[in-house]
């Protein structure tokens, strides 16, 4: 798959850094790094280009072309992250120029893509035969979208987090990231929850929340009119659900403890 990333926020660099798996991208374990991200491929060859739009922009932009790249390679999918709404309005033209078949517009802040603009873009892109997705936040994107957007989630293993855990004496002994939040925070949370008690949901939620904020999650704390909550809170609920689902699944499948003749407990 061929990708081009247009971004105007540091969040865009986090997404790119996660996808290309930079050697120093994750520092969750410091000197005790277990190299868990080695299992995640480097997708740098798929990124045909990235363009950071200046943040020094007027309130109203009459000529978007002045601030956007003059040339776009032919790609399969465009990622537009944190663009000024007047620049984002030019996305259908950009996608057509790049011969893109899909566009993803993550919404980490309500101001990035208001509902009216989202509706307009979805209609315009659809009229050109271009798939679109507007995940709010980006870590809410899953495989239900279908088409090339679904292929994007499956290939790069990013979107709505999916993890697996192993339990030892009711403690989370191992965590495997199946699909990470696009910013890479799931890898960090995975390391922080190790050796937490699986049956202490309140304590586990506190560990998840601290890790989620400590990564840190950069989603907006402004109340979103559609969510009736902050986007940061929603991203926190998403990773919490991923951990809790993994713990429930592990608890159902793990072997029960075996009692020794001397009444000690060990696991087979």
pLDDT in tens, 206-220: 999 999 999 999 999
pLDDT at residue number 40: 87
pLDDT at residue number 28: 79
Mean pLDDT of 148-162: 97
> Is it the case that residue 260 has pLDDT exceeding 70?
no
> Which pTM value belongs to this model?
0.91
How many Cα atoms sit within 13 Å of 215 on the Cβ side?
30
> Is it the case that residue 263 has pLDDT exceeding 80?
no
Confidence of residue 258 (pLDDT cuts 50, 70, 90): very low
Which candidate, 5, 14, 1, 8, places its Cα nearest to that of 94?
5
Q: What does the radius of gyration of the chain's CA atoms come to, in whole angstroms?
A: 21
pLDDT at residue number 257: 53
User: pLDDT by residue (tens digit) across 45-71?
Assistant: 999 999 999 888 888 999 998 999 989
DSSP states of the chain = --EEEEESSHHHHHHHHHHHT-TTS--SSGGG---GGGGSPP-GGGEEEEEEPPS---SS-S-GGGTS-S-----SEEEEES--HHHHTTHHHHHHHTT-SEEE---SSTTTS-HHHHHHHHHHHHHTT-EEE--SSGGG--GGG-HHHHHHHHHHTBSS-EEEEEEETTEEEEEEEEEB-TTSHHHHHHHHTTT-BTT-HHHHHHHHHHHHHHTT-----SEETTTTEEHHHHHHHHHHHHHHHHHHHHHHHSPPPEE-TTS-EE--
Mean pLDDT of 11-22: 95
Higher pLDDT among residues 65 and 255, named by residue: 65
Taking the CB of residue 24, how many other CB atoms lie within 10 A of it?
6
């Amino acid at each position: 798959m061929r990708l081009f990333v247009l971004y105007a926020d540091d969040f865009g660099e986090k997404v790119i850094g996660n996808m290309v798996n930079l050697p120093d991208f994750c520092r969750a374990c410091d000197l005790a790094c277990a190299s868990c991200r080695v299992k995640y491929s480097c997708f740098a060859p798929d990124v045909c280009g990235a363009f950071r739009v200046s943040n020094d922009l007027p309130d109203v932009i009459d000529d978007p072309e002045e601030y956007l790249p003059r040339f776009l390679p032919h790609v399969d999918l465009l990622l537009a992250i944190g663009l000024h709404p007047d620049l984002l309005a030019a996305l259908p033209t950009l996608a057509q120029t790049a011969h893109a078949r899909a566009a993803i517009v993550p919404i980490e802040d309500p101001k990035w893509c208001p509902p009216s603009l989202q509706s307009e873009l979805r209609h315009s892109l659809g009229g050109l035969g271009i798939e679109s997705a507007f995940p709010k936040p980006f870590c809410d994107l899953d495989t239900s979208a279908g088409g090339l957007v679904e292929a994007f989630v499956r290939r790069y293993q990013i979107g709505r987090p999916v993890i697996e855990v192993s339990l030892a004496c009711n403690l989370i002994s191992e965590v495997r990231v199946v699909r990470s939040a696009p910013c890479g925070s799931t890898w960090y949370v995975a390391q922080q929850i190790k050796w937490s008690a699986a049956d202490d949901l309140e304590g586990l939620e506190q560990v998840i929340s601290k890790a989620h904020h400590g990564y840190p999650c950069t989603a907006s704390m402004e109340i979103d009119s559609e969510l009736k909550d902050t986007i940061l809170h929603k991203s926190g609920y998403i990773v919490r659900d991923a951990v809790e689902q993994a713990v429930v699944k592990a608890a159902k499948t793990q072997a029960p403890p075996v009692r020794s003749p001397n009444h000690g407990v060990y696991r087979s």
